[in-house]
Amino acid sequence: MIALGILLTAVAYTVWLERKVVGRIQNRWGPTYVGPFGLLQPLADGLKFIFKEDLTPPHVYKPLYIAAPMLSLIFALASISVIPIGNWVTVAGLHTPLQITDVNIGLLIILGVTSLGVYGVALAGWSSNSKYSLLGGLRASAQMVSYEIALGLSLIGVLIMAGSFSLRDIVDAQSGTYLGFIPRWNIFQGQIVAFFIYLTAAYAETNRIPFDLPEAETELVAGYHTEYSAMKFAMFFMAEYANMITVACLASLLFLGGWHGPLFGPAILQAILPIFWFALRVFVFLFIYIWVRGTLPRFRYDQLMAFGWKFLLPLAIANLVITAFIVALKS
């Protein structure tokens, strides 16, 4: 419950951060009226969404129309349950990992759950019974299925180096430093190509600019959520931002060394610092997300597909083969 609360708050404030940062990039202020620096804006937005009239267009296929946003949000929130946010801590005599469940196939579970997230988008597009929604849904499902392959392949290099599917083991494999100052993060262990493949594929998976073809405003009105209003509409966006946070968490765990960082000070500070280092990485990753959104234009659809299949996929396979070769030579 606590993790879910933190996640949803993080979702709300990622939206705020995005509006602020994109505002600054475009030389304007972003939200300023509600609270200091517009900090209460997410609360106001939430209230607005709850009290808005929930319109259901007459020609929709109702069961799926209602189920689609729920599916999106459920799968987006479920994947947080296996993500560890820090090392073991002892609180009031209880020694516990900072994670909801530590399963030894954690990474596979995340991949599985996020791959189910396509259903929300696809069904929303189909059940709305509108041509813009249908096109958006088709684009989204094609794009997500295509880029999922490159995403999965880019992760296998990391898995080979750690020899485990458990996210905790993968982070533990990245502890320590080279020569005393270069941290042994996977990104410095030759997985830098995989990191960039992951970054690109993750943008496409979460339907963000420059890969936001499913909701391209200039051609499709709003894509798969054209016919949705009020809280149902908000649920799609909560799912999108929750997915962004999951992706950022995974990137920090798999490539950037998780919660490893300099530890100092009294015991209480030493217990909190790993969480802080982890949160910092996630924040930087989210900031890059927003930065990219503020600066890059959108792809054309055929470019998007060609890029995914003809460039990203072969690159991911090459990276996998080379990593496997080096690991085999070492052992």
State the nearest-atom distance from the C-beta of 151 to another protein, in Å. Answer: 12
C-alpha distances (whole Å) from 155 to each of 272, 279, 294, 305, 317 are: 28, 21, 27, 20, 11
Which of residues 11, 124, 136, 148 is near another protein by CB under 8 A? 148
Check residue 116 for interaction with another protein (CB under 8 A). Answer: yes
Which of residues 22, 44, 100, 145 is near another protein by CB under 8 A? 145
The single residue listed with the structure tokens 């993968």 is: 170
Using an 8 Å Cβ cutoff, are 239 and 206 in contact? no
Q: For residue 177, what are the β-bridge partners?
A: 183
Which of residues 35, 112, 176, 314 is near another protein by CB under 8 A? 112
Residues contacting 253, CB < 8 A, separation 6+: 83, 84, 167, 170, 171
Mask: binding to another protein, 31-70, rule CB under 8 A, as x and -?
Answer: ---------------------------------x------
Helices 267-295 and 2-25: crossing angle, nearest 10°? 40
Check residue 301 for interaction with another protein (CB under 8 A). Answer: no
Pick the closer one to another protein by CB: 118 or 209: 118
Residue 103, helix vs strand vs coil: coil
Check residue 105 for interaction with another protein (CB under 8 A). Answer: yes
State the nearest-atom distance from the C-beta of 107 to another protein, in Å. Answer: 9
Pick the closer one to another protein by CB: 87 or 206: 206
83, burial (CB in 10 Å: exposed 0-12, middle 13-18, buried 19+): buried
Using an 8 Å Cβ cutoff, are 56 and 221 in contact? no
Check residue 151 for interaction with another protein (CB under 8 A). Answer: no
Q: Which listed range, 32-40, 122-130, 214-222, 270-278, lies at the site for another protein (CB under 8 A)? A: 122-130
| Residue ranges binding another protein (CB under 8 A) | 64, 103-105, 108-109, 111-113, 115-116, 118-119, 122-123, 125-126, 134, 137-138, 141-142, 145, 148, 165
